[in-house]
């Protein structure tokens, strides 16, 4: 029998019984030594079954991406607190989504699975900082394998010849606290055009898991795909492409920019 619950302090608690053996523990306190004592008590096979069950039970009590011990931290939008330096895109915490009108019924979304970006944060804050981001056009994912091939192909991105979709910032125009318009150049299929992104600086803080200085942003924008030579399938597929971006950046340890 297995019992799952949380203690008043919010920690996971697991109680197990197998035959005449009963174990109660909080996962933070369960150690290799305890596992060895368990094995000596009930035998190798039984111990392994109980331990496997305990691990599975603990997983059910634990949110994804969160260790067993609950972490807390502070994120703020005071730009003066952000250490200047070079910040790189967190490989596991970002998303870039394009969506277009589909037959006037809905907006069809596609995401990209590979991207890189470098943010240079300077002492002047958002107005003084720059970002250079690139997305692998061949990593587009529409959730429809046949459509993936078409979008990557010569009728649209032509990823075999134009692998990179790139954005290079030029100027940030503040419109409020921690928000503004980021002007820059977008390059798609070898064609470069100016675009504007509405950006929200979600804040800065020391990541409690990685211990790295971390920045978070949300951004939205739009552009005409025809201006980049992507007019295929119009008007069944709309011309306006809407862009949604979520991104976290971590400061490089050897970075020291003023």
Same domain, 110 and 47: no
100 within a domain of the structure (yes/no): yes
**Within a domain: 128:** yes
**What pLDDT is stored for residue 46 in this prediction?**
56
**258 in a domain, yes or no?**
no
Q: Is residue 119 part of a domain?
A: yes
Note down the domain range covering 28.
2-60
> Does residue 93 sit in the same domain as residue 8?
no
The one-digit pLDDT tens for each residue of the chain (258 residues) are 544 455 555 444 445 555 554 444 444 444 444 444 444 444 555 555 555 555 555 554 444 555 445 667 899 999 999 999 999 999 999 999 999 999 999 999 999 999 999 999 999 999 999 999 999 999 999 999 999 999 999 999 999 999 999 999 999 999 999 999 999 999 999 999 999 999 999 999 999 999 999 999 999 999 999 999 999 999 999 999 999 999 999 999 877 666
Q: Residues 49, 84: one domain?
A: no
CA distance 61 to 52: 15
Query: What does the pLDDT read at residue 192?
Result: 98
pLDDT at 49: 55
44-60 and 32-42 helices cross at what angle (nearest 10)? 140
- Count of structural domains within the chain: 2
* 26: three-class secondary structure by DSSP: coil
How high is the pLDDT of residue 8?
A: 53
| Residue 51 maps to a domain | yes
Same domain, 28 and 84: no
Please indicate, yes or no, whether residues 222 and 115 belong to a single structural domain of this protein.
yes
In this structure, the answer to whether residues 190 and 237 fall within a common structural domain is yes
Q: Strands, E, within the chain: which ranges?
A: 2-6, 12-18, 21-25, 85-102, 106-112, 115-121, 130-136, 140-141, 164-176, 179-188, 191-206, 213-224, 240-251
Alpha carbons 115 and 95: distance in angstroms, whole number:
9
Please check whether residues 194 and 145 belong to one and the same domain: yes
Do 35 and 132 reside in the same domain of the chain?
no
pLDDT computed for residue 1 by the predictor: 52
Same-domain status, 9 and 123: no
What's the pTM?
0.74
Look at residue 72 and tell me if it is in a domain.
no
Co-location of 50 and 139 in the same domain: no
Same domain, 216 and 184: yes
């Amino acid at each position: 029998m297995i019992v799952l619950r949380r203690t008043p302090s919010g920690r996971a608690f697991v109680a197990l019984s197998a035959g005449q053996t009963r174990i109660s523990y909080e996962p933070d306190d369960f150690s290799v030594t305890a596992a060895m004592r368990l094995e000596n008590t009930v035998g190798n096979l039984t111990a392994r079954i109980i331990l496997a069950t305990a691990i599975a039970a603990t997983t059910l009590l634990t949110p994804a991406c969160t260790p067993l011990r609950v972490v807390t931290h502070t994120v703020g939008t005071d730009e003066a607190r952000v250490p200047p330096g070079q910040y790189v895109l967190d490989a596991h915490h970002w998303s870039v989504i394009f969506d277009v009108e589909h037959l006037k019924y809905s907006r069809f979304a596609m995401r990209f699975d590979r991207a890189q970006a470098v943010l240079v944060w300077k002492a002047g804050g958002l107005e003084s900082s720059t970002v250079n981001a690139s997305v692998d056009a061949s990593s587009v994912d529409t959730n429809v394998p046949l459509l993936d091939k078409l979008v990557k192909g010569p009728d649209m991105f032509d990823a075999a010849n134009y692998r990179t979709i790139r954005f290079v910032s030029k100027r940030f125009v503040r419109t409020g606290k921690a928000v503004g318009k980021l002007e820059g150049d977008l390059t798609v299929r070898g064609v470069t055009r100016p675009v504007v992104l509405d950006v929200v600086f979600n804040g800065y803080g020391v990541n409690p898991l990685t211990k790295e200085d971390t920045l978070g942003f949300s951004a939205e924008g739009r552009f005409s795909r025809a201006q980049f030579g992507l007019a295929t399938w119009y008007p069944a597929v709309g011309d306006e492409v809407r862009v949604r971006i979520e991104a976290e950046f971590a400061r490089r340890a050897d970075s020291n920019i003023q």
